[in-house]
Chain A
Amino acid sequence: MSNERPETGAFFQRDRQWQPPAYTPGYKTSVVRSPQKALISLDNTLSEITGPVFGHSMLGALDADLIHNFAKAGESAIGPRIIVHGRVLDERGKGVAGALVEVWQANAGGRYRHKKESYLAPLDPNFGGCGRVITDADGSYCFRTIQPGPYPWPNGVNDWRPAHIHFSVFGHGFAQRLITQMYFEGDPLIWRCPIVATIPDRAAVEGLVAALDMQATIPMDARAYKFDIVLRGRRSTLFENRLEGN
């Protein structure tokens, strides 16, 4: 973390033409879970500008290593070993230091470790599927995992999720809160997926597809994928008509 004065500006308005709308009937569950009335707009107050910040001290030694953080001693998860790394930036291009990045995913066969999950692909006894990391001073993060498998789901008769890793990101203000999914370069299921298709803009989808990164790949160990995440930027506070102490 830097010792600069904390930023207190309001966040840029969210572009709701770029973000997925609530009602996307191709993704069936959204039909009864989408508000039908217009959102009430609220330029950020302190309640939205502020947010909790998490310290590196809360992390365990293996929190960012999904290959080992659920494995028995001396064992490891089965599947293609990968590194996922990148930066958390804001819309101004500044790295977001101290952002909490939490991830979850299925195992190599597409099976989630969850009691409500009944896909016939087996669990991996050495794979839990959760990890977390806090970004460095320049906003960079890195974790190690196995590449998840595609996963069938009861939406259409024959719908399959592309291989994906869920990301939850906490910036510095509660208004920046974001959950998204990372996809893998070249996966033909991406463009067939009703959840991906909730995003109206193709360029916005491409922003969720991580590229194979041979420069960061460790020979004879793990391939790497690079995934940058962009959170909302803040307005400058220099000329804002702010009350003292606000």
Chain B
Amino acid sequence: MVQPLNRLKESASQTAGPYVHIGLTPNFCGIEGVYADDLGAAMVNDKTRGERITVRARVIDGTGTPLKDALIEIWQADAAGLYNSPSELRGAADPNFAGWGRLASDMETGLFEFSTIKPGRVPFKDGRLMAPHITFWIVARGINLGLHTRMYFSDEQDANAEDPLLQRVEHKNRVPTLIAPRDGDVYTFDIHLQGEKETIFLDI
């Protein structure tokens, strides 16, 4: 016999359900007066460094219908490529940018609009630079375990071409599912849960 490893098992995930707003964006769904603000609703202030952008996202199901009850959290580096996290040991991130945002979709249109900044580049494990990207985490009714993906930027073609994750994708025709087209200062990121245009999701 060998010694048992005795590790605990991660708690099993369950769907966030249709009423996720009650807990995570209560002001948005009309429960006011409990928390002053919904956490993660505002990502930038006047002092935040970097290029202001809007990320306009939708989550679309296998029939082509946008989800109207999804919730997205995003996590990104600041304009210099530093994360505002205790686990970031390379330097101090912009104190006016937490790097984290949380929004519920519009209940009629399914749209999310994050007002944020364009992130700088962050090194991969081997030191190569990754292309600028925003990490997405998506939960909703019908999603049993939160889905992770990344949004890359259409106007970063050179960086995208050398990105270690994008390079690894075997089916190159799927890479565009992670690249958001730019129009003015708006990037549009349609996340397809299923079907021909299915977005690449990550096991991280």
A positions within 8 Å CB-CB of B: 6-8, 11-16, 18-22, 24, 27, 29-37, 39-54, 58, 60, 62-63, 69-70, 89-93, 102-105, 112-117, 128-132, 166, 168, 172-175, 177-181, 195-196, 198-199, 201, 203-205, 207-208, 229-233, 242-243, 245-246
Q: Mark B55-98 against chain A: 1 for CB-CB distance below 8 A, else 0.
A: 00000011101010100010101000001111111100000001
In the complex, identify which listed stretch (B19-27, B110-118, B153-161, B181-189) lies at the interface while the others stay far away: B19-27
Q: Mark B13-36 against chain A: 1 for CB-CB distance below 8 A, else 0.
A: 111111111111010011101111
Q: What does DSSP make chain B's interface, helix, strand, loop or mixed? A: loop
Cβ of A32 and Cβ of B142 under 8 Å apart? yes
Cβ of B127 and Cβ of A49 under 8 Å apart? no
- Of A29, A40, A208, A242, chain B has the most CB atoms within 10 Å of the CB of A40
Cβ of B8 and Cβ of A93 under 8 Å apart? yes
Chain A residues contacting B100 (CB-CB under 8 Å) are 51-52
Chain A residues contacting B17 (CB-CB under 8 Å) are 166
B positions within 8 Å CB-CB of A: 6-24, 26, 29-31, 33-36, 39, 61-63, 65, 67, 69, 73, 75, 77, 83-90, 98-100, 107, 122-127, 130, 133, 135, 137, 139-148, 150, 165, 168-169, 174, 193-195, 198-204
CB distance from A23 to the nearest CB of B (A): 9
Chain B residues contacting A246 (CB-CB under 8 Å) are 89-90, 123, 125, 127
What are 17 A-B pairs at a CB distance below 8 A? A8-B87, A14-B203, A18-B12, A32-B142, A35-B194, A37-B198, A42-B203, A47-B83, A50-B75, A69-B34, A92-B8, A115-B30, A117-B19, A131-B23, A207-B11, A208-B12, A246-B123
With contacts A30-B144, A178-B146 taken as known, whether A6 is within 8 angstroms of B89 at the C-beta atoms is: yes
A44 to B126, CA, bound (A): 12
Cβ of A30 and Cβ of B143 under 8 Å apart? yes
Cβ of B203 and Cβ of A39 under 8 Å apart? yes
Chain A residues contacting B199 (CB-CB under 8 Å) are 35
CB distance from B8 to the nearest CB of A (A): 5
